[in-house]
Structure 1
């Protein structure tokens, strides 16, 4: 059954919680929400059966989450802050794709994050290139040209993804969701910049594992290594999965073990957004 928590800005965030124990919050990447993401829901259910409170939420402007303002990175961190407070005060974050950069930013901003599991973070591109892409995307969103913005967002994804999206009867809805991807673009621009200049470790002090699938896209293993190289103590793991997604049982096992270790050995910082 859907539950809700309100942010200090007044956004109403929809989420499902599975199980009891130390908290794990899934941070989706560009586009997914609970009703269209059975893989994450099944992973959360499995984790919840093994001593974890696993939380799956609809990001701002998606699914059942209501927002009256911009779905930018600050607002997205506000949603995470409200969830973390609501589920016990701190949690491990599991980011998926661009959700990894949002999770990293949350930890760097001082939210009470116990650790990070980062699945296939798309952070292998040069910072200048990513910043230009993010700027182009945000400008198109601000101009209301949401189809062009969606094409820009998907520019470096497998071309068949964009072709399939444009051929789908859901294309108008897909394009309309571009506004909910602003936080993704902003966080990716930030993440590639701090990875490149070496400053990520100044603010991210929590345990981190960067994960990629056994059948993945070029650049994903390299991106995981880039994160691990930037953060002392961070590790890299390969987990069964393909098509930019994981196999629920295998990922749930990794997550439960990581949550137990991270919450048992790490005292989270105070503060937040």
Structure 2
């Protein structure tokens, strides 16, 4: 495990594996070392000749937090991890983490190749703060479980998948205070941000996710100047790690 510091002094904890060109993976809402969806994927990529970095986004796991929140602070967090990785890196982000990676690339971070899986882009540049306010209120009142449920309901997680999440819900409740962060990233990412991505980009989605998400992903791929879109066989908002790792390593090797 390593530790780096963001521009505002926030401590950002990360883990690395492998040897070779750097790949930094950016987690989605809820992702952290106690609910780590990216470490197994990172290990598969590392086996193909890369050094992979996963990190706890601010307010999660072993990373600290500094208020007030702004998307720019999370971009600085990613910048600190890339610096720790050697000063430049390929990047993979999924869901809201994909939007964060897009924002980071658009801001000029040294991202050599960018891959994103199902960034939740709704096609509108108008941001509604209502849900963020509700999430913040629930957390302030100690109703973290309700905040987790609200977030997953409004982003469209199917009821059967929400039921399957019951065993991991305590881990998600620990970082419920960060759900407003992801809501802000999704709600404030505009066409201009997406169109400003300079890096070659692979935009991925799953066959099983559904038309609404597909439409947004296709729009992201259309807006990024140098983007390729691939739709792979998978489950709702996810792909098997082996399938995803194969697509990513092929892209990063070019």
- Would the TM-score normalized by the shorter structure come out above 0.5? yes
Aligned length: 249
Match of 1:53 in 2: 51
Quick check: 1:140 aligned with 2:140?
no
Structure 1 portions without partners, runs of 5+: 262-273
Pairing of 1:166-177 with structure 2 (within 5 A)? 168=166, 174-175=172-173, 177=175
The Cα of 1:137 is off from its aligned counterpart by 3.0
- Secondary structure of 2:60 counterpart: coil
The Cα of 1:95 is off from its aligned counterpart by 0.9
Match of 1:267 in 2: none
Paired with 1:141 and 1:215, the residues of 2 have a C-alpha distance of 28
Quick check: 1:247 aligned with 2:245?
no
Query: Over residues 181-231 of structure 1, what are the superposed CA-to-partner deviations in whole Å (9 max), with x where a residue is unaligned?
Result: 23312221222xx22xx5632x21111111012322332322221011112
The correspondence for 2:203, drawn from 205, 210, 221, is 210
TM-score of the superposition, structure 1-length normalised? 0.80
The correspondence for 1:113, drawn from 111, 114, 118, is 111
Match of 1:30 in 2: 29
The Cα of 1:260 is off from its aligned counterpart by 2.2
Paired with 1:199 and 1:124, the residues of 2 have a C-alpha distance of 14
The Cα of 1:108 is off from its aligned counterpart by 1.3
TM-score of the superposition, structure 2-length normalised? 0.86
Change (3 A) 1:170 1:22: closer
Match of 1:233 in 2: 226
2:93·2:117 contact (CA, 8 Å) conserved in 1? yes
Aligned-residue CA RMSD (Å): 2.5
Structure 2 portions without partners, runs of 5+: none
